[in-house]
């Protein structure tokens, strides 16, 4: 049965400019446990006292997942892993010629001794041990087999076959994993595939086919350079394509969004599974198919992720898509009117990049000559803002007061630091205002609440 080790908290925190707080790490670990990942690599305790504390706190949660601490081959690191209460230590030591010569200044024989000694030491402390030959895919294969078997003999029950530089291709990786499986003493094989050529998940899936047991992931594919396989892509690919049903798909969007918020590392719109456009359809041919039967252009139902499909209206749009959008607003038009509306939309789309629903309704109003009062005007909304911990709340307040549409600003206690009342003409202005406020330096997170009805207090 395929296993997943998620290393958002270790490899993911190696993403340039990303650091998590201890509380954020705990929240991430809980969400990972809800998804049901088999192992959580919680950090390398030698990196900093906070990393060590986070591992300790996560270990104390007694989650279902096994908690792994990463460590270089040094007794001090292994001792820290033990002190954190981790179930397992993952000891890494590079094995490729270039790493041994240029970085570690060790011979192959010295490396074997160091690895076996530290694996045995960790075992003597009662820790389960994974050994990772870093840069394994550029390591002489015969040496790789020797070094891994030495680690297994010393007590490691897992080997992480690390494609540290992401240089593998699925067919080659398949053969390597198959050969490694055949030559290793009994152990589980993890696959740690970097995504430098965009092949990480494909390599991982090929490796699982070849007999490996576990694939490493991070939320949103974070990690050194271009990262490693994305958790959501991995879970959904294994679920839909390989029939692996043991993971809970529902929190995948939540954890992806949470990571975007706390890391400031945002997804490209075309990112598979979790990207904004993953279930958006644009051309007339596609949207027409989707409206008749979504299976025409959707590889799977977005509802399995709690997502909805979206039909983009612009110059590529066909009649059926426009009609369905007008239906959503309860606007009924004749076939002749619809044709004119579509022509105007196409003309407008030729000139402008993005069409909003208000534009479409405005066109429908012009064409039908009827007033279609479906879009709310004069909107009041309450914006809740969380401020970055290192930024003064008052400096954000000052900036907010500079926006003409912001009518009142309050510093508050609780989950958010500031609430602001805004008054805008329509939804587009509200969207634009929120976008602008989000770019204010120090604003970490916003939540918008639309005012449905306003009442005055008794003394007003």
- Residues that are catalytic: 286
- Candidates 55-63, 159-167, 275-283, 334-342: pick the segment binding ligand HCA (CB under 6 A): 159-167
Report, in Å, the least distance between residue 221 CB and ligand HCA: 14
d(CA 307, CA 325): 18
The interface mask with Cu ion, positions 208-227, x = CB under 5 A, is: --------------------
Per partner kind, with CB cut-offs from 5 to 8 A, the member of ligand HCA, Cu ion, none near residue 90 is ligand HCA
The residue from 26, 42, 81, 92 that contacts ligand HCA (CB under 6 A) is 92
Per partner kind, with CB cut-offs from 5 to 8 A, the member of Cu ion, ligand HCA, none near residue 3 is none
d(CA 8, CA 231): 9
The structure tokens listed for 41 are: 């690599």
Task: Specify the residue, 92 or 247, whose C-beta has the smaller distance to ligand HCA.
Answer: 92
Task: Specify the residue, 91 or 396, whose C-beta has the smaller distance to ligand HCA.
Answer: 91
Contact positions with ligand HCA (CB under 6 A) in 181-220: 192, 194, 216
288 binds ligand HCA (CB under 6 A): no
Task: Specify the residue, 20 or 92, whose C-beta has the smaller distance to Cu ion.
Answer: 92
Q: How many CB atoms lie within 10 A of CB 294?
A: 16
Contact positions with ligand HCA (CB under 6 A) in 54-73: none
Residue nearest to Cu ion (CB): 11
The residue from 42, 55, 162, 259 that contacts ligand HCA (CB under 6 A) is 162
Task: Specify the residue, 132 or 288, whose C-beta has the smaller distance to ligand HCA.
Answer: 132
Tell me how far apart the 2 most distant CA atoms of the chain are, in Å.
86
90 binds ligand HCA (CB under 6 A): yes
129 binds ligand HCA (CB under 6 A): no
- Candidates 51-59, 139-147, 160-168, 196-204: pick the segment binding ligand HCA (CB under 6 A): 160-168
Per partner kind, with CB cut-offs from 5 to 8 A, the member of Cu ion, ligand HCA, none near residue 131 is none
- In DSSP terms, 133 is beta-bridged to 93
- Candidates 18-26, 156-164, 229-237, 315-323: pick the segment binding ligand HCA (CB under 6 A): 156-164
Report, in Å, the least distance between residue 165 CB and ligand HCA: 8
Contact positions with Cu ion (CB under 5 A) in 6-65: 11
134 binds ligand HCA (CB under 6 A): yes
The residue from 15, 46, 96, 132 that contacts ligand HCA (CB under 6 A) is 132
3-state secondary structure the chain: CCEEEECCCCCHHHCCCCCCCHHHHHHHHHHHHHHCCCEEEEECCCCCHHHHHHHHHHHHCCCCCEEEEEEECCHHHHHHHHHCCCCEEEEEEECCHHHHHHHHCCCHHHHHHHHHHHHHHHHHCCCEEEEEEECHHHCCHHHHHHHHHHHHHHCCCEEEEEECCCCCCHHHHHHHHHHHHHHCCCCEEEEEECCCCCCHHHHHHHHHHCCCCEEEEEHHHCCCCCCCCEHHHHHHHHHHHHCCCCCCCCCHHHHHHHHHHHHCCCCCCCCCCCCCCCCEECCHHHHHHHHHCHHHCCCCCHHHHCCCCEECCCCCCCHHHHHHHHHHCCCCCCHHHHHHHHHHHHHHHHHCCCCCHHHHHHHHHHHHCCCCCCCCCCEEEEEEEEECCCCCHHHHHHHHHCCCCEEEEEECCCCCCEEEEEEECCHHHHHHHHHHHHCCCCEEEEEEEECCCCCCCCCC
Per partner kind, with CB cut-offs from 5 to 8 A, the member of ligand HCA, Cu ion, none near residue 314 is none
Q: How many residues bind ligand HCA (CB under 6 A)?
A: 12
- Candidates 157-165, 270-278, 375-383, 410-418: pick the segment binding ligand HCA (CB under 6 A): 157-165
Report, in Å, the least distance between residue 97 CB and ligand HCA: 16
Which residues lie near Cu ion (CB under 5 A)? 11
Which residues lie near ligand HCA (CB under 6 A)? 11, 90, 92, 132, 134, 160, 162, 164, 192, 194, 216, 224
């Amino acid at each position: 049965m395929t296993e997943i080790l998620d290393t958002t908290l270790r490899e993911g925190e190696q993403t340039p400019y990303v650091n998590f707080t201890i509380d954020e790490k705990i929240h991430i670990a809980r969400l990972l446990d809800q998804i049901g990942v088999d192992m959580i690599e919680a950090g390398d305790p030698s990196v900093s006292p906070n990393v060590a504390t986070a591992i300790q706190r996560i270990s104390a949660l007694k989650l279902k997942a096994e908690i792994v601490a990463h460590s270089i081959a040094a007794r001090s690191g292994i001792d820290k892993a033990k002190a954190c209460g981790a179930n397992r230590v993952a000891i890494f030591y590079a094995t490729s010629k270039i790493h041994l010569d240029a970085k570690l200044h060790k011979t192959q024989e010295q490396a074997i001794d160091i690895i076996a000694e530290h694996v045995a030491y960790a075992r003597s402390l009662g820790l389960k041990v994974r050994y990772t030959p870093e840069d394994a895919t550029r390591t002489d294969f015969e040496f790789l087999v020797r070094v891994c078997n030495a680690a297994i003999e010393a007590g490691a029950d897992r080997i992480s076959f690390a494609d540290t530089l992401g240089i593998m291709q699925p067919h080659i990786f398949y053969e390597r994993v198959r050969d490694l499986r055949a030559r290793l003493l009994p152990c589980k094989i993890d696959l740690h595939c970097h995504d430098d050529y965009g092949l990480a998940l494909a390599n991982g899936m090929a490796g699982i086919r070849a007999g490996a047991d576990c694939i490493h992931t991070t939320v949103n594919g974070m990690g050194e350079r271009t990262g490693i396989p994305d958790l959501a892509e991995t879970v959904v690919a294994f679920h839909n394509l390989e029939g692996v049903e043991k993971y809970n798909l529902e929190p995948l969007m939540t954890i992806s969004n949470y990571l975007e918020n706390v890391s400031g590392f945002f997804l490209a719109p075309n990112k598979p599974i979790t990207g904004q456009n993953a279930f958006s359809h644009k051309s007339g041919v596609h949207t027409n198919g989707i409206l008749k039967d979504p299976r025409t252009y959707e590889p799977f139902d977005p509802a399995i992720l709690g997502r909805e499909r979206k039909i983009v209206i612009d110059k590529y749009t066909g009649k059926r898509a426009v009609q369905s959008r007008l239906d959503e607003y309860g606007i009924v038009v004749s076939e002749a009117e619809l044709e004119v509306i579509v022509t105007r939309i196409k003309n407008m789309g030729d000139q402008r990049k993005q069409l909003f629903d208000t534009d479409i309704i405005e066109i429908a109003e012009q064409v039908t000559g009827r007033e279609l009062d479906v879009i709310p005007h004069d909107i009041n909304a309450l914006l809740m803002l969380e401020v970055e911990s290192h930024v003064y709340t008052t400096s954000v307040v000052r900036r907010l007061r500079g926006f003409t549409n912001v009518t009142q600003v309050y510093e508050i206690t609780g989950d958010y630091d500031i609430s602001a009342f805004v008054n805008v003409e329509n939804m587009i202005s509200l969207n634009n205002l929120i976008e602008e406020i989000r770019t204010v330096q120090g604003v970490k997170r916003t939540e918008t609440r639309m005012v449905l009805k306003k009442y005055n207090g008794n003394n007003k």
